[in-house]
Amino acid sequence: MRLLVPFAVAALAASPAVADQVTGQQAGNFRLMDADGRAVTLAQFRGKPVVLEWNNPGCPYVQKHYDSGNMQAAQAKARAMGAVWLTINSGAPGKQGHLTGAQAKAFVADKKAQPTAYLLDPQGRVGKGYGAKTTPHLYLIDAAGKLVYQGGIDDKPTADQADIAGARNHLLAALAEVKAGKKVSVPESRPYGCSVKYAD
């Protein structure tokens, strides 16, 4: 992972790219619009663990976790543990998985998803800033704002729903360790899925 540079909201809005985030360092703040057109910042959730989930509804790997209900179950468990769950779509207009606000709301309703908010990043600034490479790509930020996990949702990098039952959910395991005051045992794993469909 490359150099972390904590960045202000205004700086992110003006900058097309920010260095990837480093596990164990402070996560960079960002500001995005949610599906209802309301501004959401990472900083507003300081004091709570925050999960970032990169999403592309057209990706078979994303479909694996949503069609099986696995992602929704993870969202519900994380929120029950006091975490904020932010689903982020960095797909560019005209690319697979890009959603408008209305389409994002329809996706959440159709899949009975349970994120705290579905955020739109059509220019890919936050996705590139976090080094999001795949959909899904998961990140966990602790209550103090430190990035403590990044990578795949689990250890079964396939698009086969049958693999979910025997998988270790890295994200939920990391969250449980954080809540218990323990060091995250697997702070990084290889993200898997479709490439994020950035504009360039």
Q: What is the pLDDT of residues 18-68, one digit of tens each?
A: 456 889 899 999 999 999 999 999 999 999 999 999 999 999 999 999 999
CATH superfamily of 25-195: Glutaredoxin (3.40.30.10)
pTM: 0.89
pLDDT at 20: 65
For residues 94 and 175, what is the distance between their CA atoms, to the nearest angstrom? 35
φ, ψ at 87 (rounded to 5°): -90, 130
CA distances 159 to 27, 62, 63, 134, Å, are 29, 8, 8, 13
If you average pLDDT over every residue of the chain, what do you get?
90
Residue range 91-115, pLDDT digits in tens = 999 999 999 999 999 999 999 999 9
Closest CA to 134 of 199, 80, 53, 76: 53
Residue range 147-192, pLDDT digits in tens = 999 999 999 999 999 999 999 999 999 999 999 999 999 999 999 9
> At residue 17, does pLDDT exceed 80?
no
Buried b (16+ CB within 10 A) or exposed e, 173-194: bbbebbeeeeebeebbbebbbb
pLDDT at 144: 95
Q: Counting Cβ atoms within 10 Å, is residue 64 exposed (0-12), middle (13-18) or buried (19+)? A: buried
Closest CA to 193 of 23, 14, 57, 33: 57
Closest CA to 55 of 10, 86, 30: 86
Q: Are 45 and 27 in contact (CB under 8 A)?
A: no
pLDDT at 22: 87
